[in-house]
Amino acid sequence: MSLEAKAKELADEMKETEEYKSLTSAQTRVKLDPVAQDLLTQLQTAQQELQQAQSEGQQISPDKVNEFQSLEQQAQNNLTLQHLLKAQQAFGEVMNTVNETLGEELFGEQSQQ
């Protein structure tokens, strides 16, 4: 069996986990919640603008920082986005476990020598 086929098999197995199902459910809820969707879009846009300004060495105005912090606070208070964040974190843990296992299987014996 090819590596691609094994990767697809792993992806299919991961899709059966509760963490993946919770993540897709939370993503669907965001799509159905216009307030949460708008807030998430605004937050992502503000974050990208701040990151771009930083990478270009530009001074970031206090107003921009305050705007981002306000959006971040609103997102933390939004139940739909809270569920999304928790689901993303839980699935991220699954992904980390898979990556750690792959690393151990690939390099575990070599790193002990």
CA–CA dist 75, 109 (Å, integer): 44
Whether residue 11 is contained in a domain is answered as no
**pLDDT tens profile 62-97:** 999 999 999 999 999 999 999 999 999 999 999 999
What letter represents residue 9's amino acid? E
Residue 80 lies in a domain: yes
What tokens were used for 19? 């963490």
Structural domain total, the chain:
1
Domain housing 70: 27-105
Q: What is the pLDDT of residue 108?
A: 84
- Domain assignment present for residue 14? The answer is no
In a domain, 51, yes or no: yes
Does a structural domain hold residue 57? yes
Q: What does pTM read for this prediction?
A: 0.82
What pLDDT is recorded for position 1? Answer: 83
| 52 belongs to a structural domain | yes
Question: What's the average model confidence in pLDDT over 97-106?
Answer: 95
For residue 81, give the 3-state DSSP assignment. Answer: helix
Residue 109's pLDDT band, with cuts at 50, 70 and 90, is low
- 59: helix, strand or coil: coil
